[in-house]
Structure 1
Amino acid sequence: MADRVLLTGISGFLGGHVALKLLEAGYIVRGSVRRMEKSDKVRATLAAAGADVSRLEFVALDLLSDEGWAEAMQDVRYLQHTASPFVTTMPDDKMELIRPAVDGTRRALHAAYTSGVGRVVLTSSMAAIMYGHAPDRSAPFTAADWTDLTGRDVTAYVESKTRAEREAWSIADSFGRRADLAVINPSAIFGPLLDDDPGTSVGLLKRLLDGSVPVAPRIYLSMIDVRDVAELHLKAMTTPDAGGQRFASAGPTDSMHEIANTLRKAFPAFAKKLPRFEAPNWLVRFVALFDKDIRSNLGELGIVKRIDPTAAESLLGHRFITNPQMLKASVDSLIAQGVITPPDAS
């Protein structure tokens, strides 16, 4: 009998790819959705991606409700907890992000350890590692680093991911199960979409390609392909030595201008839409007075953060997919899903 995995957040970008990896590896996947009416779309999406959905189950779970968690853990050997809110525009009330992230993690891990689940894999973020540090830091960030929540660049999202991961380790320790928790800390996740929802990260590429960003702000992104992140979740679940560890997961850091140039080379039809120049910081700060999305990310201006992915690549068993490859795969899927249309095809 195949082992059963409870996968929270299966309808998300990463959750869908984790489901594909698990089904491909022969597991029974019990995916959680907030409302059961979402399950038909998720099943159809995974089937279209080539998954054997005969081993796919669904349960309704809410990060803010105790209902159903104990039942969802029945006959489950592993928990993959990927569900957590992700935005680029910060809410007026930071608890709108922090409460579901922290409370959801508490509910998921408490239910898992109470029911005797063997290994928990938590999706955290580089947000829990590389904020609140000196802006001129040149040393790469590793799993040994933690975000300092008193730092000036800490947003509600950064705080939500940091507090949620801290909560996970605390709960694991309280059950004496620290060695049975593995945490994946990815940077910005790109790669091929499974449906027509571009989400937050790939949605940024859509904005670049449709001309919504006339000049590139001096913002730098460390990136990783969703397929590598999903495989890391599988490897962290099944590799004995991965327990008790965090895995800082990111490839090289590129500026928004470099990303635009990579897209211009791969997709010349969009060349006129993509930004050709970098905007000076003073201009970005001025525009931020009228644009909440930009205002939420002013702390990123001019700050280059680099990550040492050695441990994650060792767990994966190969080097990460390169930035140009993942960006091309992202845009190819945007086109294939009908989210964007090349200008010459209009």
Structure 2
Amino acid sequence: MTTKANSEKTVLVTGGSGFIAVHCILQLLQAGYQVRTTLRSLNREAEVRAMLNEGGSKASQRLTFHEADLSADAPWDQVVNNCTYVLHVASPTPIRNYKHEDEMINPAREGVLRVLRASRDAGVKRVVLTSAIGAVVYGHPPQTAPYDETNWTNLAGKAPAYQKSKTLAEQAAWAFIEREGRGLELSAVNPVTVLGPVLGPDYSHSIHLIKNLLTGKMPGCPKINSGFVDVRDVADLHLRAMTHPAAKGERFIATAGESVWLVEIARILKAHLGQDASKVNTRELPNALLRIAALRDPMVKSMIPLLGRVMNTTSAKAIRLLDWSPRSTEEAVLATAESLMRLHLLDQ
């Protein structure tokens, strides 16, 4: 579609300060769209504009900011008015010290339904929901075959609360479309661990993995397996899912390729960054050591169910249906490290 045609369409991106959202806004502006984005507080507008500027965006006249919170109905009807598409990227932040898992589950589910209801009532054509791999791979017996879009996290299994919230929010979205969508279209993107260029001091939790390796904060690598994907490719997949006819009613896993063990990530840094990776430890930590550490560290405790498990997924569907072509895991890892160093974020 031409840039001129895009210039007549408005796209709403919810949660504009988020790592994935900022990259979505960059690519939408580059493609010529009018863009609206929401923030819980407009106090963060300057910060988001600074990140967009770092990403090379000069098209600020086509971008407007709106204050909206997923926990309240108002003013979603006004925010989505006259929008052709909505990228619902915003998600409640994981709560560390919750008393009950519903503290995470209910806001995630209610937030999705608010955005979908407002989008339907405003005549939006399609919503793309940023879900997560957490809605796909948890609560299953160990398997070596890659997980795909037909898999759903088994809520009867031992899924952590945040992953449960992502699963239930996505399931609620599909149920809404089926029962009361009245023609509103939905696609979902389920990214694995998201890396890639950081544009400012506010970045996703997954970036801390690379930061902790580079600063020597990780004394070694737990035997954990994950897929990785570059945020620029996640944003690109959102735009493809937004407009491609084949994406209607479909979910798409976003991964760069085969899953890898964390020690392989450490080795990539070591092999390519020379002196800048001098603090990276490529030793694999024994599982027994982590089990002892888990007794006093809740963060380590959350890793225990993942130790030694292969978490392989496939993006064959996105590649086949949407002609998506992601960067390699190595490129994503190195882009993360280089941006952290360039913006002097390792010492913060």
TM-score over 0.5 for the alignment? yes
Contact kept, 8 Å, 1:130 with 1:141, in 2: the verdict is yes
Match of residue 229 from structure 1? 234
Deviation at 1:178, TM superposition (A): 7.0
Deviation at 1:267, TM superposition (A): 1.3
Match of residue 221 from structure 2? 216
Residue 162 (structure 1) aligned to one of 152, 160, 167: 167
Give the counterpart letter for 2:75 in structure 1: G
Give the counterpart letter for 1:173 in structure 2: E
Give the counterpart letter for 1:227 in structure 2: R
1:100-158 C-alpha deviation (Å, 9 max, x unpaired): 211110111111011110011000011111111112x1221111111110112x00111
Deviation at 1:174, TM superposition (A): 1.8
Using the alignment, how far apart are the partners of 1:163 and 1:313 within structure 2?
A: 26
Deviation at 1:90, TM superposition (A): 6.7
Match of residue 93 from structure 1? 100
Match of residue 313 from structure 2? 307
Give the counterpart letter for 2:309 in structure 1: I
Give the counterpart letter for 1:79 in structure 2: V
1:95-244, aligned counterparts within 5 Å? 95-135=102-142, 137-152=143-158, 154-177=159-182, 180-244=185-249
Using the alignment, how far apart are the partners of 2:184 and 2:118 within structure 1?
A: 17
CA 1:117/1:318 → structure 2, altered by over 3 Å: closer, same or farther?
closer
Once the two structures are aligned, what percentage of the paired residues are identical?
Answer: 38
Match of residue 288 from structure 2? 282
CA 1:301/1:92 → structure 2, altered by over 3 Å: closer, same or farther?
farther
Deviation at 1:316, TM superposition (A): 4.5
Contact kept, 8 Å, 2:120 with 2:181, in 1: the verdict is no
Match of residue 72 from structure 1? 79
Residue 41 (structure 1) aligned to one of 47, 50, 75: 47
Deviation at 1:317, TM superposition (A): 2.1
Contact kept, 8 Å, 2:125 with 2:184, in 1: the verdict is no
Using the alignment, how far apart are the partners of 2:10 and 2:136 within structure 1?
A: 31
Contact kept, 8 Å, 1:109 with 1:120, in 2: the verdict is yes
Unaligned runs of 5+ in 1: 342-346
Match of residue 330 from structure 1? 336
Using the alignment, how far apart are the partners of 1:337 and 1:95 within structure 2?
A: 37
Contact kept, 8 Å, 1:222 with 1:254, in 2: the verdict is yes
Match of residue 90 from structure 2? 83
Give the counterpart letter for 2:82 in structure 1: D
Give the counterpart letter for 2:114 in structure 1: R
Question: How many residues of Structure 1 are paired with residues of Structure 2 in the alignment?
Answer: 339
Query: Are 2:269 and 1:263 equivalent residues in the alignment?
Result: yes
Unaligned runs of 5+ in 2: 1-6
Q: Mean Cα displacement is larger for which, 243-252 or 230-239? A: 243-252
Contact kept, 8 Å, 1:247 with 1:312, in 2: the verdict is yes
Using structure 1 for the length normalisation, give the TM-score: 0.94
Using structure 2 for the length normalisation, give the TM-score: 0.93
